């Protein structure tokens, strides 16, 4: 674990400290939680972009798995899921974790927005966190009656809508 206070951040010194820690402990996986703190702490957005580019380039050079969390300022619903500058061309994968309200109950939702060089589904899937970690709930028509997200469209919008029975496969009606 490495922590630097965002209020007292010298970004060049911080980057050097991150690199030194990675090399000292031969880190193979890194999680940065969160990029929003850097964006807020750094007044100059060009410096923030350069820092982000440098972290991604360094991670790729080391073939290190790196997760950058970016907190969307909206609690429910999305007007956008990208940070203050476009990162899609820089990163290899984008995974969106969100909350969806279904029948007055909050549900966790995962969407793979981008997976460079890898086939993937663009479905939004429900996941649960419990004993043993994260479980991605299955998506198939036979369980659509018991998995609420499978019966809704517009999950990433502010107001998901329930699919009409006629739109569902016969097996899940």
For residue 101, the model assigns a pLDDT of 73
For residue 23, the model assigns a pLDDT of 97
Cα–Cα distance, 104 to 52 (Å, whole number): 38
For residue 128, the model assigns a pLDDT of 92
Q: pLDDT tens digits, residue range 24-60?
A: 999 999 999 878 888 888 888 889 889 999 999 999 9
For residue 74, the model assigns a pLDDT of 61
Helices 11-25 and 45-61, packing angle to 10 deg: 10
Look at residue 79 and tell me whether its pLDDT is greater than 70.
no
- Report if pTM > 0.85: no
Report the residue count for the chain. Answer: 173
Residue 163 preceded by cis peptide, ω within 30: no
Cα–Cα distance, 134 to 102 (Å, whole number): 20
Most confident residue range from 21-25, 35-39, 104-108: 21-25
């Amino acid at each position: 674990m490495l922590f630097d206070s965002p209020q007292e951040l010298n970004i060049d010194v911080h980057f050097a400290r991150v690199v030194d820690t990675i090399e000292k402990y031969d880190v193979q996986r890194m999680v940065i939680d969160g990029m929003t703190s850097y964006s807020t702490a750094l007044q100059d957005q060009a410096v923030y972009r350069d820092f982000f580019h440098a972290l991604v380039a360094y991670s790729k050079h080391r073939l290190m798995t790196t997760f950058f969390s970016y907190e969307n300022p909206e609690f429910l619903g999305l007007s956008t899921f990208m940070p203050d500058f476009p990162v899609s061309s820089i990163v290899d994968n984008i995974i969106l974790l969100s909350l969806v309200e279904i029948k007055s109950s909050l549900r966790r939702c995962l969407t793979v927005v981008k997976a460079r060089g890898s086939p993937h589904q663009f479905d939004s899937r429900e996941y649960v966190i419990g004993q043993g970690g994260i479980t991605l709930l299955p998506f198939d028509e036979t369980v659509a009656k018991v998995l609420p997200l499978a019966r809704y469209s517009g999950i990433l919008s502010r107001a998901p809508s329930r699919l009409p029975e006629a739109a569902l496969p016969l097996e899940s009606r």
